[in-house]
Structure 1
C-alpha cells in the first residue's frame, strides 16, 4: 500500500519504519528539518509539514503527501496548550480540507483513553461522550474523532491508546519521589509501543474501517502498587500515595480489539515485564 503518516514522532517514526520493512511505500511528515534525513535513511519519503493549526508547508509537497491509499493521523493535542479544543479541532479541519480532493480512502486516527471520564467502571468504546472527557485534551480528541468519522469521502478507524511506555519512556520517571499523591486505587491503563505498532499494522493489513478500538494492555494494577514497584526496579525513590478508599475508577476494556483482530499482547501486563521499559 501507499501509506502516509502525519506525525512521525515517538510512535509514528517506528511505525513508519516497520511498515517500510513490511513492503509498504511510506511517506512521513515531520516539523523539524533535522529529522528529514533520519526519515529518508529508513526508506521513508520525508515531508516537512506542520499544523499550526492550518497545514503549513510547500503546497505541491503537501498535495503529494496526501496522494496515498491510507493516512495515519498521529497528531496528539498538547495537554498544556491554551484553547486546546479549538486548536486541535482546527488542525483536524485543515486535514479534512486537504483530503477533499485526495485519493485517500481510509484514515486511522490515533486517539487516547483520555476521552473517557476519570471514573465510571469498565469503559467500552461506546462509553465516551462529548463533555465528559478526563481533560480538555481528551475533549479535543473526542470532537476530532467525530469530525473524521462524519466524513463520507473516506472511512475512519479510531484507536484510543492508553498511556504509552517502552524504550526511552519509563513511567517510573513521572511519579518517582513525589509525595501524597491522590487516587492511589486508580488502575493504570497502559500499552507498550510495540503493541501499538502491532495493532496499527493489524488494522492496516486487515483493512479494518469505520471502527473504534480501545488499545490498552490486559493488566491494570493500581497506581499505588504499580508506580512503587517500577520505581524500585529503576533504582528511583518510590512515590507515596494518600489513603484511598475509592473503588469507582475507570478500567478501559480491550475486549473488542482482541476479538476483532484476534490479537494477543506482546506485553500483557506492565508489572510482569520490567525489561519492556528499556526496550
Structure 2
C-alpha cells in the first residue's frame, strides 16, 4: 500500500461492505478511523461488528428501506460502493436508487463522497480511453453509471470524486477459472483492463489522504497484456486447463490511468495484472 496518513477527525461510512467494501473498511480501521459499514443482508451485521465496523442494514429498492438508521449518514466521508443490478430496466432503476440516496445525503453531515464507478461507462473505441471521453457505452449498466455519476457531480452541498475501476481481481477472484478449458475464444490480442484489490484500496485511501475531491479518475493496471497472454498465465498459476484463443482484436478499449499516476503521484503496487495473479 502507498503510505497514507488520515485526519483523525474524519469519520467514514461505506455503503456496501462486500468484496471490496469489507477489506477497505478493515484497512481504514487500522488507520484509527471511525468506520460505519452497510450491508443489505441482516445475517452479515454480526460479521461487520466482529471486525469493529459499526453495522447498518441499508438497501435501495429503489427507495431506501423504511427501517434504516439515519446515523449511518452522520459521517464526514461517504464511500458509495454498490454496482448496478442486472435487470432490464437498470437505466431507470439505478438513477431512482441514487435519487433516494441523495435525499439522505443532503440532510446529513456528509461533505465528501467517493463513488466507486466502472470503466463500463466507456464505449469500445479500439484505442486509448481517458476520463474526458464522452462516448456513451453500449450496455445499460454503463449508461446507468453515467447517469448517476452526473447526478452526484451536480450536487452543490458536497464534493464527489469518482473512481472508474477496471475489472477487479485478487485473492479469491481467480481469473484463470473464467475460460478454463474453453476453445476458439475471440479477441485473443485485445488488451485487458484490470486492477488488483490491494490497488483499489490504495487508490481510495490515496484520494482521502490527499484531499483529491471533485475529480474523476480511471484506475487500472498501467500495463495491458492481451487476453491470450493474461488468461493463459492465470490458468497456469492456479492450475486450470489452459484456454485457446483466436488471434485478432476488435471492440476493445485501453483504459488510461495517466491522470491518476501523473497528477496525484499514485504508485501502483501491480503495474501489470499478470504480476498480480499470485496475490
Give the TM-score normalised by the residue count of structure 1.
0.93
Aligned length: 270
Report whether the alignment pairs 1:204 with 2:218: no
Aligned-residue offset at 1:87: 1.4
Alignment of 1:28 with 2:73, yes or no, is no
2:48 corresponds to 1:48: no
Summarize the alignment of residues 98-117 of structure 1 with structure 2, pairs less than 5 Å apart: 98-117=104-123
Pick from 74, 81, 97: which aligns with 2:81? 74
Aligned to 1:252: 255
Q: Which residue of 1 aligns with 2:3?
A: none
Does 2:274 correspond to 1:271? yes
Residue 98 of structure 2 corresponds to residue 89 of structure 1:
no
Q: Please report the TM-score for the alignment, with normalisation by the length of structure 2.
A: 0.93
- Residue 168 of structure 1 pairs with residue 175 of structure 2: no
| Contact 2:126 2:250 survives alignment (8 Å) | no
Query: Which residues in structure 2 correspond to 1:169-188 (within 5 Å)?
Result: 169-188=173-192
Residue 194 in 1 paired to residue 203 in 2? Answer: no
Deviation at 1:233, TM superposition (A): 2.0
* Aligned-CA RMSD value: 1.4
Distance in 2, Cα, partners of 1:214 & 1:38: 31
Aligned partner (choices 154, 159, 162) of residue 163 of structure 2: 159
Q: Which of 134, 139, 144 is equivalent to 1:128?
A: 134
In the alignment, the residues of structure 2 paired with residue 177 and residue 90 of structure 1 have an alpha-carbon distance, to the nearest angstrom, of 41
- SS for the counterpart of 1:111 is strand
Structure 2: tracts of 5 or more residues without a match: 1-9
Tell me, what secondary structure is at the counterpart of 1:104?
A: coil
SS in 2 for 1:257: helix
SS of match in other structure, 2:247? coil
1:231 aligns with 235
Deviation for aligned residue 1:232: 2.0
- How far residue 225 of structure 1 moved from its aligned partner, in angstroms, is 1.6
CA distance in 2, matches of 1:208, 1:273: 26
